[in-house]
């Protein structure tokens, strides 16, 4: 999802969330005539929302799984959907079970983050994660299918363009905006379309299928004995090497690291490369550039270099 207005800076943990049952306000139950098909759906949650869904000691997520019969999985903390600070929740099982689980999740989050005293049926957004190759089945020729989905559900439905700036990302976000009842009807219709798509059925994977170089960050000095190369003069040596060290001006290193290490983690996560930054005062020989060592496959290294360049180039005179 992530539902707008939630505090995405809250660290989700099993110990930090209340375990409360969803309110009695519910969307209508799904028709009982759905085929007994196994399917899945993914959507985005902020860290705060993820903590709410997990519940204390995992109590809420276990309760929702028991009530619905569906399996609910979340990407790990700091495994964010590319370009966001939101985690991914995947619900899998029979169609009706999946819809019941999604209803339980959205109802709880609606109560916890959106309902004000005396407020009625607030509208909020859910962002579904759908493979690019399956979006055509939701859009239809000339937009005919998505138009019918909007008319039937009364929800707003928008499909984002594929963001080519993230290597290994082949998913798009389908944003569904409306009341809980409208959203659940739209999600039901979308899920029924996707369940007919063989590619979608086969695309089921872990909640976080994107390239990850490593979990965690390492800012330690890269040690001694390495040959340092300029990013523009790697030539044949790069072809034999799985590690490249480039220089980044000391005053610009913060742009690479980002607040709380967010940028460097995202670059590593998306490129699949491991990145180390030298300690303060440890410069490339004869310069005031900090050493940024990138380790991984040649493709991962090139991707990481490009992302670092994107961060630094707007403030660089080079």
Residues 259 and 179 in one domain: no
Average pLDDT over every residue of 105-128: 82
d(CA 130, CA 149): 16
Query: Region 279-306: what's the mean pLDDT?
Result: 85
Task: Tokens for 270, please give them.
Answer: 């998306």
Average pLDDT over the chain reads 77
pLDDT at 178 over 90: yes
Tell whether the model's pLDDT for residue 203 goes beyond 50. yes
Q: Which of 238, 231, 210 is nearest to 312 (CA)?
A: 231
The answer as to whether 64 is a domain residue is yes
The total number of structural domains in the chain stands at 2
Of the candidates 106, 111, 112, the residue with the CA atom closest to the CA atom of residue 91: 106
Q: Which of 62, 55, 47, 45 shows the shortest CA–CA distance to 15?
A: 55
Using DSSP bridges, classify how beta strands 289-295 and 243-249 pair: parallel, antiparallel or unpaired.
antiparallel
Is residue 65 a part of any domain in this protein?
Answer: yes
Note the pLDDT of residue 232: 36
CA distance between the termini of the chain: 40
13 assigned to some structural domain: no
Asked if residue 226 belongs to a domain, the reply is no
Question: What is the domain-level CATH number for residue 61?
Answer: 3.30.310.210
Residue 302 has pLDDT above 50, yes or no: yes
Structure-block tokens of residue 136: 């055509």
Residues 184 and 287 in one domain: no
Digit-coded pLDDT (tens) for 221-248: 233 323 333 333 333 343 344 788 888 8
Give the percent of the chain with pLDDT over 70.
76
Pick the range with the lowest mean pLDDT from 137-151, 170-184, 256-270. 256-270
Examine the domain organization and report whether 247 and 182 are in the same domain: no
Tell whether the model's pLDDT for residue 190 goes beyond 80.
yes
- Give the distance, in angstroms, between the CA of residue 29 and the centroid of all CA atoms in the same chain: 29
What's the domain range around 46? Answer: 39-114+121-202
315's tokens:
């403030």
Q: Is residue 234 one of the residues assigned to a domain?
A: no
Residue 159 pLDDT: 95
Determine the Cα–Cα distance for residues 35 and 186; give it in Å rounded to an integer: 18
Cβ within 8 Å of residue 26, ≥6 positions away: 103, 107, 180
Specify which residues 277 forms β-bridges with.
292
Question: Same domain for 187 and 268?
Answer: no
Residue 177 CA to residue 113 CA, distance in Å, equals: 16
Of 235 and 307, the structure prediction assigns the larger pLDDT to 307
Does pLDDT of 64 surpass 90? yes
Structure tokens at 219: 């800012």
**CATH number for 268:** 3.30.1370.10
Per residue in 66-92, pLDDT (tens digit) is 999 999 999 888 788 888 889 999 999
Sign of the four-CA dihedral 224, 226, 227, 233: negative
Asked whether residue 160 is domain-assigned, the answer is yes
Decide if 95 is inside a domain: yes
Written as six digits, the tokens of 30 are 């799904």
Domain endpoint, select from 149, 176, 202: 202
Give 122-150 pLDDT, tens digit per residue. 888 999 999 999 999 999 999 999 999 99
Same domain, 250 and 196: no
CA–chain centroid gap for 199, Å, is 21
Query: Do 108 and 192 fall into the same domain?
Result: yes
Q: For position 35, what pLDDT does the model report?
A: 58
3-class state of residue 231 by DSSP: coil
**43 and 187, same domain (yes or no):** yes
Whether residue 18 is predicted with pLDDT greater than 50 in this model: the reply is no
Q: Of the candidates 202, 224, 258, which is a domain's last residue?
A: 202
Residue range 101-120: average pLDDT? 82
175 and 70 within one domain: yes
Confidence of residue 43 (pLDDT cuts 50, 70, 90): very high
Residues 62 and 143 reside in one and the same domain: yes
Q: What are phi and psi of 198, to 5 degrees?
A: -60, -40
């Amino acid at each position: 999802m992530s539902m707008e207005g939630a505090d995405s800076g809250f660290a989700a943990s099993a110990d930090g969330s209340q375990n409360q049952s969803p309110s009695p306000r519910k969307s209508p139950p799904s028709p009982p005539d759905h085929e007994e098909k196994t399917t899945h759906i993914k959507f985005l949650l902020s860290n705060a929302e993820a903590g709410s869904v997990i519940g204390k000691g995992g109590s809420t997520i276990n309760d929702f799984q028991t009530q619905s019969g569906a399996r609910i999985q979340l990407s790990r903390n700091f495994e964010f959907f590319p370009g966001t600070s939101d985690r991914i929740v995947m619900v899998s099982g029979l169609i009706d079970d999946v819809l019941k689980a999604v209803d339980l999740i959205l109802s709880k989050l609606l109560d916890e983050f959106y309902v004000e005293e005396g407020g009625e049926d607030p509208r909020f957004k859910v962002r579904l994660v759908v493979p690019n190759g399956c979006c055509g089945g939701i859009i239809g020729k000339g937009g005919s299918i998505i138009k019918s989905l909007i008319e039937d559900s009364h929800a707003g439905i928008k499909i984002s363009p594929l963001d080519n700036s993230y290597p290994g990302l082949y998913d798009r976000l389908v944003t569904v905006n409306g009341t809980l009842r409208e959203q659940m009807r739209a999600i039901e219709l979308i899920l029924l379309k996707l369940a007919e798509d063989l590619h979608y059925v086969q695309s089921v994977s872990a909640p976080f299928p994107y390239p990850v170089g490593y979990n965690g960050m390492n800012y330690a000095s890269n040690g001694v004995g390495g040959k340092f190369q300029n990013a523009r003069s790697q030539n044949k040596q790069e072809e034999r090497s799985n590690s490249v060290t480039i220089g980044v001006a000391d005053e610009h290193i913060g742009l690479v690291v980002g607040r709380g290490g967010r940028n460097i983690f995202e670059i590593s996560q998306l490129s699949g490369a491991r990145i180390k930054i030298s300690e303060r005062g440890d410069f490339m020989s004869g310069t005031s550039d900090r050493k940024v060592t990138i380790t991984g496959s040649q493709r991962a290294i090139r991707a990481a270099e490009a992302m670092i360049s994107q961060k630094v180039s707007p403030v660089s005179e080079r």
